[in-house]
Amino acid sequence: MATSRQCWKMHTSDLVIFIALPAVTFCFLLQQAVALSTDPVEVVALNTIRRSLNDPLGNLNSWNSGDPCTSNWNGIFCYPMAISGYLHVQQLQLLQLNLSGSLAPEFGQLSQLQILDVMWNKISGTIPREIGKITTLKLLLLSGNELSGSLPEEIGYLPNLNRLQIDLNQLSGPIPKSFANLISVKHLHMNNNSLNGSIPAELSRLPRLLHFLVDNNNLSGQLPSELSRIPNLKIIQLDNNNFYGSTIPASYGNMTTLLKLSLRNCSLQGDIPDLSAAPQLAYLDLSMNNLTGLIPSGRLSDNVTTIKLSHNLLDGPISSNFSRLPQLQILSLSNNRLNGSVPSSIWQNKASIGNESFIFDFQNNSLTSVSGSSSTPNNVTTLFFGNPLCANPVQANVVNCKPQTVSPISGSITGFKLSCPSCPKDLDYEHNPLSPIPCICAVPVRAGFRLKSPGISDFRPYVDKFKVDLTWLLGLHVYQLYFDVYNWEPGPRLGLYLMLFPDNTSQFNIKRSVAYQAILSGWEITLSDVFGPYELLNFTMGSYSSTTRSAINIHNIEGFTLDEMKRATDNFNNSSLVGHGGYGKVYRGILADGRVVAIKRAQAGSLQGANEFLTEIELLSRLHHRNLVSLVGYCDEEDEQIVVYEFMSNGNLRNHLSAESKEPLNFTMRLRIALETAKGILYLHTEADPPIFHRDIKASNILLDANYTAKVADFGLSRLAPAPNVEGASPDHVSTVVKGTPGYLDPEYFLTHKLTDKSDVYSLGVVFLELLTGMKPISFGKNIVREVSIAFRSGRTFSIIDSRMGSYPSDCVDKFVSLAYSCCQDQPEPRPTMSAVVRELENIWKMMPESDVLQSDPSVSGSEKPSTPLCSYPHLSSDVSGADFLSSVVPNVTPR
């Protein structure tokens, strides 16, 4: 029993590879692997690959020493081969690590590689033709980089390749004819590049191809009729290419597996083929072409949800056959030459259908009347602007003649939510509204999920189908999957934000949560055809990260043993204690090499501490800025979670603002601390990649070194800012459980649970008010923001300035107060951005007398010195301190 427990603890990171193996086999293989080393040829190749990549965040620092497979090089997963006697690299997972540089030809020497994933980096150069030597390769994932040049012919000779994703690069040249040899490929995603030439007719030989996505390129020539011979093809997506002079092959109408045909804006001409013999067709977009003739009269499949034929040259009448499509959600026929009468039966039969919305767009045609009933169901939008019938007062009275742009049907899923007591705060607990047991508090795992080419336009009637589909594939009950928000994105694509809940218990078994991540990120599930291909945007382990080392990406930081930590702190003696909080205690320690450090030790059994431990290591290991506390190392041994930082000898800012401080800070020092703190937070918001929201900015988390340089600390509650989607747009907030410190919490975040960069601005504004007044955020039952606001609006600002900072230049203080006040607005919109905060503080700093600047910080460079001081002395601070003012407005309170 002890052996298997040890095997699990030591090798959790390899579970992704062996997830389908029985537990005994899994442990046996790993135990055998311990004695092996990586194939020397692959070691040389990896070192060359490392040298070809630029790694500004140090994500590949672990590649600098040890054996790739046994030393846990970041992103490398291996397995043993009994024949060779070596470990071989099976997966290279370098997703979204801010890497640049180029892909080395030595990738071709990783002879047993199955997954190569470098998506969402900044890698440039060409795709090495040597990759075509890796005959074991199954997933080649290069999306979202800056790759250029042409596609190597050699890639077409990978017999096991299942998925090729090269979208969102700068690739040019033709699609190689050799790709017709990819006998195992199911997914060719090559959209959003600059590929040119014609589509090779030879691709018709691909026996397993399901999804062919090459939209947004420079392809030309004739659409090959041979594509109709691909026996399993479900999606043809060729939008925004230039097939000038080409017609749509009639053979496309005979494709028995075709689900989606999207040829928007392709310069196509001729007639629309009869598609009535395509029994699976659900989505048809032929808009923005030069198609002529009549709309085919054959009845389309009952599966059709979307028909877009707008912006063509179609003429003739509108057939009543459209009224016989039970799933139809959008019919767009605008900007054609259609004439005659529109049968109202097309939309009348939609009146009794649930919460769906339906759009029927007939704008800018030559339609003269509507036949049948003139009523329109509430859930139906009909558009007739730009038709002769709108000039007829009788007809215009009963139809919508206002111009309107048609966009994907938006909406959200709303369900009954119980009124439940608050959940414990030491983990990311949530109430699962769908749980059979009311008000159970549980820790979900979260996933960002996107449907890349859905065959629908309104998701709401398919929600239940999606839930049943996904939960069955993951082995969950339907009530374990919850989401209430989805977003249509350009493409159109559909973004979903999912929560997977444990089954009526508080937490998943860690093996299961890791398994879900492996299944989703490895494309090991197949959704129903109507949902098309999917991609996993992110998978957040959250609190589960605290129970597995595989969830930590540790870059170039020192690991300490528990014995070393005990020796550094005299066995955690209270004489070494310098602080404590909800996480645990902080000790002053002296390492064996004489370095003085701060050692933060999680409270025994605190899952919150364990979670914050992982977050802090993960973030601080790749953050480097003068005004952020530096991470020295960590200790993760015997259920201890210990973080080691640089020691800040002058403690935290809150202590220096208290009445007990024996050496109060003058105004210049306070202004410098404000500026340095703001610069640290600006780095988090704009230069960290991905950006970070701190979420717990407060005076006690701003530490001062021996020179009183301010450094932001404590990243245990921090959250990554939302990542941009494939079009480069980013959501403006992260939805999360409210955490932070009372008095510093952004009111908007507290009410809506939407964390933004402006939430940090608010908290920093409170710190500014503390610097100016000396008051605590909440004291004597009063809130600092409210009390300063009263003084500010009544013109008594200087009555609350902290008397202990002595004389100060009133103009500079006035500007600082105004900035702090603007940061603390209730609504986020009026608050300045962090860059604007830094800019204003720098302006105030330049207004300060040079003698004060140099006295505050002798290291200030010449360029930072004020050229023309605008703020002058003397101005003595009021005899009334902030605390005294507060007591004056609160009866029977004794000042500090």
Annotated binding site for ATP: 600
**From the centroid of its chain, how far is CA 411?**
21
Q: Which residues of 329-351 are buried (b: 16+ CB within 10 A; e: fewer)?
A: bbbbbbbbebeeebbbebbeebe
DSSP 164: E
603, 610 contact by CB (below 8 A):
no
Report angle CA 618, 684, 823 to the nearest 5 degrees.
135
Cβ contacts of residue 451 below 8 Å, gap of 6+? Answer: 493, 494, 496, 531, 532, 533, 534
Read off the tokens for 649: 């000898």
- For residues 263 and 260, what is the distance between their CA atoms, to the nearest angstrom? 10
Residue 84: both structure tokens together: 């060779």
Find out whether 174 and 218 touch, Cβ atoms under 8 Å: no
Q: In whole angstroms, what is the distance from residue 772 CA to residue 242 CA?
A: 63
696 counts as catalytic = yes
DSSP state of 701: G
- Would you tell me the crossing angle of helices 757-773 and 667-682 to the nearest 10 degrees? 170
Question: Which residues fall within 8 angstroms of residue 79, CB to CB, at 6 or more apart?
Answer: 17, 18, 29, 33, 87, 88, 90, 112
- How many other CB atoms sit within 10 Å of the CB of residue 813? 22
Bond before 492 cis per omega within 30 degrees: yes
Angle at 665 between CA 663 and CA 666, to 5 degrees: 125
Q: How far apart are CA 738 and CA 755, in angstroms?
A: 8
The backbone region for 693, taken as left when phi is positive above 0, alpha when psi lies in -120 to 50, beta otherwise, is: beta
Q: Hunting for tokens 């499949």 — which residue is that?
A: 301
The span from the CA of 604 to the CA of 638, in Å, is 11
Strand pairing report for 100-101 and 76-80: unpaired
Q: Is 199 strand, coil or helix?
A: coil
Task: Give Cα 679 to chain centroid, integer Å.
Answer: 24
Residue 487: closest CA among 577, 370, 408, 541: 408
Please state, in angstroms and rounded to a whole number, the distance separating the CA atoms of residues 372 and 344. Answer: 5
Distance CA 316, CA 338 (A): 5
816 close to 843: Cβ distance less than 8 angstroms: no
- Taking the C-alpha atoms of residue 447 and residue 482, their distance in angstroms, rounded to an integer, is 11
815 φ, ψ to 5°? -65, -40
| Cα 772 to Cα 295, 682, 713, distances in angstroms | 73, 21, 21
**Three-class SS of 21-85:** CCHHHHHHHHHHHCCCCECHHHHHHHHHHHHHEECCCCCCHHHHCCCCCCCCCCCEEEEECCCCC
Do 809 and 871 touch, CB atoms closer than 8 A?
Answer: yes
Whether the CB-CB separation of 484 and 414 falls below 8 Å is answered with yes
3-class DSSP state for residue 616? helix
Catalytic residue from among 239, 696, 714, 852: 696
Cis peptide before 828 (omega within 30 of 0): no
Catalytic sites, residue numbers: 696
